[in-house]
Structure 1
């Protein structure tokens, strides 16, 4: 099968969406299929076979993110040459709209993954955020209705999206590359940042944006450290809130107890997961919460706020805990696992088992199944 993926973000930019596309495209390729990526250019991007870049401009509120200009003199000839079977878009804007127009022009099935609760991200717009939220919701629903299939990363998001659109909606999570954690260096994080063996590491990993609620984690750790001074909070990632969060941490006088590593290579991201004792997560906007699945694959239990997709990624009381967005309850569960090594280890072992259920191979095969169903449905409708 030949698949064209249109996306508004791709490497070297880092995000959950980019990671999802990388994982899915890589596994589909391993299974013998051809995947072609249509994405924005970035100043320091590297040319890759099968990746077609579009001129782009930086966003005014976050210059590291580029908005593609969805025009190319070579697109038509490229699409004809590739002879695609399906177009899969990963946003309803810019490149997603271009993918939709391309699918219509060549009568190809159009699949859309609803990666993001877009109304939760209007704080990145410089004005009229309340109006923008309503407009974004309407645009998202309208775009779904242009597609032949809408994919959501979790069942809870499917139940939110499906009643508002006429298109078929299927839940297909992004798979986890469980094998890449087999060779992880569990000592790297402590060696690299001089963390002593008697300190327990609380890890958060993700893009440092307002919607990720990392400030809540700083407040939680400020409470936890009073009873558990032999702990460290390690925050891996970059984003528009990074400098503000560093200043907030300084105001709490954490000293070396809170560490912002900045962005890391994929190898050391994996090592960081593997070196942690506990993963903590407070975002309330996730459609899946891919980092929670990756923590499982590393054998690390999580404490997360029970919200949207994250509520499906942690089995409460089995491989971690889910709590309301309540400081006392959140910190109580973290302290419970810090104080009970036997319980934490049991949850770590269960996390490894649960990660296999959403392996990248299993999810790629499920995605191929819904691709084939959509292609067949398209052919039947065209024959009528």
Structure 2
């Protein structure tokens, strides 16, 4: 089938939505389907055969461009690349354009609910100053115009149902390429930063933004250092809070034990997972948290704040622990694992096993099944009308 993906967020921007689109696109193509991406343009990008770029303008969020929902080339492109189904990844700008095109072409439209938009109104293009309540109404209304709404975790499925979404909802996580984690260089991380091979390393991966709640991790780590003087915290990612976080670390006199890597290449990121001892996560606004699945695939037990999608990503007491939004409880749980090598190893083995349920191939096959069900339903309705 021929799939059109409309998104407000795409490469070279780095983020969870972009990663999800990349993973599913690669798998769908390997399964024999055609995928065309409709996304904002960025300065200096080369042309890509399967990517249609809209004119764009820089947003107030550093490094993020807003696609303008019009182009003189769009109709010609759609005529030469006829679509069977449209999958949108935003309820705004280009997502809404995709939904309008689907209606015009009389083809199904699918929406993946990646983000708790009412928790991110400071980032959402054009409506950042509006209320959370209004944002909920906008997103619920958009969901109810779609043939299928996909959520990355079951708990978010229930959440949007409670918000008032009446459309068909299925939950399907973004998968991970398990082969990436089959030959890890577990020495890379400690060699990179000159760390003692025998001392523990905690790892956080995520955008350096307020909603990721990274100061919570830093505060918890400060308590851990009281007992583990040579422990280290590695923070992977870049974002608007990077400078503030570095300043905060300096104020706490932790600069020699907390390391900021910025964005890493895919190979280096995978090896960073492999070289850590524990994965720590503090965001309370995730719909999934794909980095948790990646950490588990690398054999890292997880200690995370128990909130929204993260609660579906960690099997509490089996491959990690979910804790309340309490710094003391967070640091104590981490220290319990650092003290008990046998327990940590047991959780690590289970983490690898549990990560298999997030196989990108299996997730893509399930998505194709959902697409086909929509197409079959549309065909049945068309046939009934013709009679």
TM-score (norm 2): 0.96
Q: Deviations over 1:117-157 (max 9, x none)?
A: 00001234799967431221111011001110000000000
Query: What residue in structure 2 maps to residue 301 of structure 1?
Result: 301
Where 1:67 maps in the other structure, the secondary structure is strand
CA distance in 1, matches of 2:281, 2:289: 9
Query: What residue in structure 2 maps to residue 88 of structure 1?
Result: 87
Which shifted more, 174-183 or 123-132?
123-132
Query: What residue in structure 2 maps to residue 284 of structure 1?
Result: 284
Query: What residue in structure 2 maps to residue 267 of structure 1?
Result: 267
CA positional deviation for 1:298: 0.8
Where 1:256 maps in the other structure, the secondary structure is coil
CA positional deviation for 1:196: 1.4
CA distance in 1, matches of 2:250, 2:353: 39
Q: Deviations over 1:275-303 (max 9, x none)?
A: 11000001000000100001011111110
Do the aligned partners of residues 243 and 227 (structure 1) sit closer, same or farther apart at CA in structure 2, a change above 3 Å counting? same
Do the aligned partners of residues 185 and 44 (structure 1) sit closer, same or farther apart at CA in structure 2, a change above 3 Å counting? farther
1:50 is the counterpart of 2:50: yes
Question: 1:198·1:230 contact (CA, 8 Å) conserved in 2?
Answer: no
Query: What residue in structure 1 maps to residue 211 of structure 2?
Result: 211
State the superposition RMSD in angstroms. 1.5
CA distance in 1, matches of 2:31, 2:4: 16
1:169 is the counterpart of 2:159: no
| Structure 2 gaps, min length 5 | none
Query: What residue in structure 1 maps to residue 33 of structure 2?
Result: 33
Do the aligned partners of residues 46 and 180 (structure 1) sit closer, same or farther apart at CA in structure 2, a change above 3 Å counting? farther
Give the 5 Å matches for 1:108-257.
Answer: 108-124=107-123, 131-163=130-162, 164-257=164-257
Query: What residue in structure 2 maps to residue 66 of structure 1?
Result: 65
Where 2:358 maps in the other structure, the secondary structure is coil
CA positional deviation for 1:63: 2.4
Where 1:238 maps in the other structure, the secondary structure is coil
Question: 1:162·1:168 contact (CA, 8 Å) conserved in 2?
Answer: no
Question: 1:117·1:286 contact (CA, 8 Å) conserved in 2?
Answer: yes
CA positional deviation for 1:380: 2.7
CA positional deviation for 1:80: 2.0
CA distance in 2, matches of 1:298, 1:175: 14
Query: What residue in structure 2 maps to residue 378 of structure 1?
Result: 378
Question: 1:11·1:45 contact (CA, 8 Å) conserved in 2?
Answer: no
CA positional deviation for 1:193: 1.3
TM-score (norm 1): 0.97
